[in-house]
Structure 1
Amino acid sequence: MNTSPAYSLAQLTHYFLRLGTFGFGGPPALVGAMHRDLVMTRGWVTEDDYREGLALAQLAPGPLAAQLAIYLGYVHYGVLGATIAGVTFVLPSFLMVLALGWAYVRFGGLPWMQAIFYGIGAAVIGIIAVGTYRLTRKTVAADALSWGLFALSALATVITQSELLWLVLLAGVIYWLVKAPPAFVSSGRTSFFVPVWADWLPATDSVLWQLAVFFAKAGAFVFGSGLAIVPFLYGGVVKEYGWLTEQQFLDAVAVAMITPGPVVITVAFIGYLVAGFAGACVAALATFLPCYVLTIVPAPYFKRYGRRPGIKAFVDGVTLAAVGSVAGAVLVLAQRQLIDVPALLIALATIGLLIRFKQLSELSLIGASAIIGLLLRYAHQV
């Protein structure tokens, strides 16, 4: 662990509070923002540390952006930094989702949400497209193997509409075998612990207990972050338990997309609809606690062995696949969000503005797009 960080715990806290408050776009945008801000702009984290964190977040189950934030907090400040980064990153969106959950229950739905999400969603596609392009340029080397692994992962994500762990691992192994043919294996071995206690817990009729067990499974066993957890949640809360209707579940996903921070925060909205404030807290804690543990437990091994040639090559291969999955996720999200010409124009205008004005605030684009979405829907109704 480095002994002389270029930033304080207060600065770390402020950064992740701000990212959690204003960071729109889900995993592709958030991991790109951390790279831009912490590696390229501030120089707080090295490129190698970032790659290790992204690789670990991709290998372990749970929300990708939250795990990366936890790991980057760990780099210089250990468990305390990891805890601060994780809590401050998730807390703002959790509070926003609580407020939206209260309004949803109080006023019988959020019909205005779809109009706002129409504009915001289109702008978010543009934001994450630019962020992913910059991340790809920085990460993917100019050789055919790197681009091949990147393209294969992106294509697989588009086809399956989820991120494939086995493909990520395979990319790491292939890159390792080609770039650093091993003379040893065992000395660089990293152990990953995935708890399986969730299936052993006794059954109970308590709704809060059922929420805790179900969302612990979501946090501990679902790979692929926002893309993968949505169908898992749908199968549980709508089909298996019947906690929400189809429309309520779609509204929960929309809430997650129009609020900043990790998309997985939708679990708090679902928990609130099922069991109020206590349900929101249980659902959020049960989802994020496993990913916290599964990040800080293997982190020391990554820090200790990550610079060895074989491990570094494996991490580089995993990173290529991870960035490819992010690029594929952008295409999947665009296909779902850019449903007509106005939405496509909003996305293209966002891309053009971000490329032309590199210091332009993403928040201003989000706000303008929300207004445009409301105006377009209102004009359509008239």
Structure 2
Amino acid sequence: MESTRLPYTKIDLIRYFLYLGTTGFGGPPALVSAMNRDLVTERKWISEEDYREGLALAQLAPGPLAAQLAIYLGYVHYSVIGATLAGLAFVLPSFIMVVLLGWTYRQFNGLPWMQAVFYGIGAAVIGIIAIGTHKLTAKTIGKDLLGWCVFGVSAVATIITESELIWLVLLSGGIYWFVKSPSIRAGSGMGMSFAPFFTQVLAFPTDSVLWKLALFFAKAGAFVFGSGLAIVPFLYGGVVKEYGWLNEQQFLDAVAVAMITPGPLVITVAFIGYLVAGFPGACVAALATFLPCYLFTILPAPYFKRWGKHPGVKAFVDGVTVAAIGAIAGAVVVLARRQLIDVPSVVIALATAALLYRFKKLPELSVIGGAAVVGLLLRYSS
């Protein structure tokens, strides 16, 4: 079988995504960069072409970017079972951490230490994702002038709008298609069908809180494009304004919990679900959010695998990839503006970037731990 000749097994795949889900801080920019570094450059489990196809699909489909990329990379060699294992392994560690934090939050009526820890970690994360994005950008774009133009426009648009613009991503793919594959004619026998669908059946009364949670978070997972950051305004409008499940402070604490825990940022839905309806609420919120993005990844995946080597599709994917990286770079600036609020936080971010640039093998987790301690010392010594 082909799988026996692969450089990794399903167990290796599970171990890696459990590790990334346990130690991967920084949200989509850091996690996307980490998968490229670990799986493409260092381990060589995934080809650069497969990675780009996965990043393009994750960018085009609604749902959390990093989780969809993990699912697609699991699909590359092990089909649906690999996608399922990779997705579960990636999400499970942060889900467990968030549920435990939710229990602690309810027991002690808030987490006063959270903001102190987040202060240090948040600043360090800016340095981490800045270095990761720099490496990913240099590797992907190289000396491609068109690529740098698309990258710059995407980055600036993200900084100005503070969101990822799906129409700009599609336009970038179209520009690359037109410039890089001018000889490809429309109707050249190629056809990609994107007909993913999502149905949810839950055995709860339709007027129960769990049913309402399921429907709301399924809508969040199915209709919100962009990274985990893009889902935050949508969640705020529903959780705080429409349903009144949480107050303003509780919602901000939920976002902070997602930021100080590793794994996908969108795991904040489990914390919200826990505060609303306990452990069942956390499970329903997480399942309803991630199931659509799982389906939106594995259903189109065969078409990406089948047509990804076609020159026209390859050019389109390259354009989407460059636009996605530009959006990630723009997101770094957006995050930095919100997180680097004073001189100490700027120093922590710059020191983190300098350390990681100078010492290539320095474990990011040790930097995160050191930053958390610095944050606590700064907060409680003042």
Partner of 2:314: 312
Query: Given the superposition, is the C-alpha separation of residues 71 and 217 from structure 1 closer, same or farther in structure 2, using an over 3 Å criterion?
Result: same
Deviation (angstroms), 1:145: 1.1
Aligned residues: 377
For residue 163 of structure 2, give the secondary structure of its aligned residue in structure 1: coil
**In structure 2, C-alpha distance between the alignment counterparts of 1:110 and 1:246, rounded to whole Å:** 15
- Work out whether 1:95 is the aligned partner of 2:96: yes
**In structure 2, C-alpha distance between the alignment counterparts of 1:219 and 1:149, rounded to whole Å:** 28
What is the one-letter code of the residue matched to 2:9? S
Partner of 1:344: 346
Query: Given the superposition, is the C-alpha separation of residues 2 and 74 from structure 1 closer, same or farther in structure 2, using an over 3 Å criterion?
Result: farther
- Work out whether 1:6 is the aligned partner of 2:7: yes
Deviations 1:25-79 (A, max 9, x none): 0000000000000000000000000000000000000000000000000000000
Deviation (angstroms), 1:225: 1.8
Contact 2:272 2:282 in 1 (8 A): yes
Partner of 1:252: 254
1:46-61 equivalences in 2 (<5 Å): 46-61=47-62
1:194-213 equivalences in 2 (<5 Å): 194-195=196-197, 204-213=206-215
What is the one-letter code of the residue matched to 1:238? V
One of 262, 273, 276 as aligned partner of 2:264: 262
Q: Which runs of 4+ in 1 moved over 4 A?
A: none
What is the one-letter code of the residue matched to 1:21? T
1:12-161 equivalences in 2 (<5 Å): 12-161=13-162
Partner of 2:357: 355
What is the one-letter code of the residue matched to 1:58? Q
Contact 1:94 1:265 in 2 (8 A): yes
Q: What TM-score do you get using the length of structure 2 for normalisation? A: 0.96
Deviations 1:227-278 (A, max 9, x none): 2100000000000000000000000000000000000000000000000000
Partner of 1:288: 290
What is the one-letter code of the residue matched to 1:116? V
Deviation (angstroms), 1:144: 2.0
Deviation (angstroms), 1:226: 1.4
Deviation (angstroms), 1:196: 7.1
One of 218, 222, 225 as aligned partner of 2:224: 222
Contact 1:195 1:220 in 2 (8 A): no
**In structure 1, C-alpha distance between the alignment counterparts of 2:189 and 2:275, rounded to whole Å:** 49
Partner of 2:279: 277
1:177-196 equivalences in 2 (<5 Å): 177-181=178-182, 182-185=184-187, 187-195=189-197
Contact 2:197 2:295 in 1 (8 A): no
Query: Given the superposition, is the C-alpha separation of residues 194 and 16 from structure 1 closer, same or farther in structure 2, using an over 3 Å criterion?
Result: same
Deviation (angstroms), 1:197: 6.2
1:322-337 equivalences in 2 (<5 Å): 322-337=324-339
Deviation (angstroms), 1:106: 0.3
**In structure 2, C-alpha distance between the alignment counterparts of 1:169 and 1:212, rounded to whole Å:** 30
Deviation (angstroms), 1:379: 1.4
Contact 1:213 1:286 in 2 (8 A): yes
Contact 2:174 2:316 in 1 (8 A): yes
Identity across the alignment (%): 72
**In structure 2, C-alpha distance between the alignment counterparts of 1:64 and 1:54, rounded to whole Å:** 8
Q: What TM-score do you get using the length of structure 1 for normalisation? A: 0.96
**In structure 2, C-alpha distance between the alignment counterparts of 1:48 and 1:17, rounded to whole Å:** 24
**In structure 1, C-alpha distance between the alignment counterparts of 2:81 and 2:234, rounded to whole Å:** 31
Query: Given the superposition, is the C-alpha separation of residues 186 and 238 from structure 1 closer, same or farther in structure 2, using an over 3 Å criterion?
Result: farther
**In structure 2, C-alpha distance between the alignment counterparts of 1:289 and 1:186, rounded to whole Å:** 34
Contact 1:122 1:344 in 2 (8 A): yes
One of 289, 297, 300 as aligned partner of 1:298: 300
For residue 189 of structure 2, give the secondary structure of its aligned residue in structure 1: helix
Contact 1:163 1:227 in 2 (8 A): no
**In structure 1, C-alpha distance between the alignment counterparts of 2:92 and 2:145, rounded to whole Å:** 42
For residue 206 of structure 2, give the secondary structure of its aligned residue in structure 1: coil
Query: Given the superposition, is the C-alpha separation of residues 92 and 197 from structure 1 closer, same or farther in structure 2, using an over 3 Å criterion?
Result: closer
Contact 2:269 2:285 in 1 (8 A): yes
Deviation (angstroms), 1:195: 3.8
Deviations 1:180-228 (A, max 9, x none): 0122345333222354768xxx993211000000000010000012121
For residue 375 of structure 1, give the secondary structure of its aligned residue in structure 2: helix
Superposition CA RMSD, Å: 1.5
Deviation (angstroms), 1:143: 2.6
**In structure 2, C-alpha distance between the alignment counterparts of 1:296 and 1:194, rounded to whole Å:** 9
Which ranges of structure 2 fall in alignment gaps of 5 or more residues? none
**In structure 1, C-alpha distance between the alignment counterparts of 2:263 and 2:198, rounded to whole Å:** 28
